[in-house]
Amino acid sequence: MRKPVIAIDGYSSTGKSSISKVIAERLGLVHMDTGALYRGITYFALQHCLNESGEIDLPLLFSKLKEVHLEFSELENELVLLLNGKDVSKEIRSNEVSSQVSLIACQKEVRDFLMETQRSIAAKGGVIMDGRDIGTVVLPNADYKFFLTASIEERTKRRFLELQGLGMPSEEHEVRHNLITRDKIDSERSVAPLKQADDAILIDNSNLSKQETIDLILSFIKDF
């Protein structure tokens, strides 16, 4: 029996990636964190594609995409992102990357670069993929689609605690501002904007724990 393809979209800091990872383990699926892929390219751009003003030079980045190789690998029982063979899982969660990733993610050249990889893996079935346009653009024929949202207050708290756990200094007001800015950019961008697919199940987990959100999603997945 072919295993299902599951798409989970939603706003930043709603737990998409960590929730998808648990569901993948529970159901024996492959989890692809698409957000990490965009963060990986953003990190590459910050390292190799800055202009004299310290801003990302987009044409230069586009010309260097052929030099970018991203892959997920298991390291000490954790799935980590490798950028050209180097584990960058911690670096891509920095505030610097967070403040620039929406700019990178709205570029058609970048999205096209990652699209083929994502679809080729999903074509085999048995995949859960999270992001912002998975159910609407990347995998419009996914077997199950979910859209996660939560209040800005709750998302700010989650993101702030995540950064603290990673040992990255940050201010709560800065985290909130970053989330609000990303919401606006992601929702209003002309290329594959963040939005709920018509056939996606909406889940507001403002007052749900991670486990409660997982249980709710699993309750919709039948015959598996």
- The residue that leads in pLDDT, 2 or 10, is 10
- How many residues in total does the chain contain? 224
Q: State both tokens at 11.
A: 């706003």
d(CA 107, CA 118): 17
pLDDT on residue 78: 67
Total domains in the chain come to: 1
Q: What mean pLDDT is predicted for residues 37-48?
A: 96
Q: State both tokens at 195.
A: 């939005």
- Is 80 exceeded by the pLDDT of residue 145? yes
- Is 80 exceeded by the pLDDT of residue 224? no
Number of H helices, E strands in the chain: 8, 8
Residue 155's domain spans which residues?
Answer: 5-220
- Average pLDDT score over the chain: 92
Task: Please report, rounded to a whole number, the percentage of residues in the chain having pLDDT higher than 70.
Answer: 98
Give the pLDDT confidence of 49-88 residue by residue, as tens digits.
999 999 999 999 999 999 999 887 777 656 788 999 999 9
For residue 62, give the CATH number of its domain: 3.40.50.300
Q: Compute CA 152 distance to the chain's CA centroid, rounded to the nearest angstrom.
A: 18
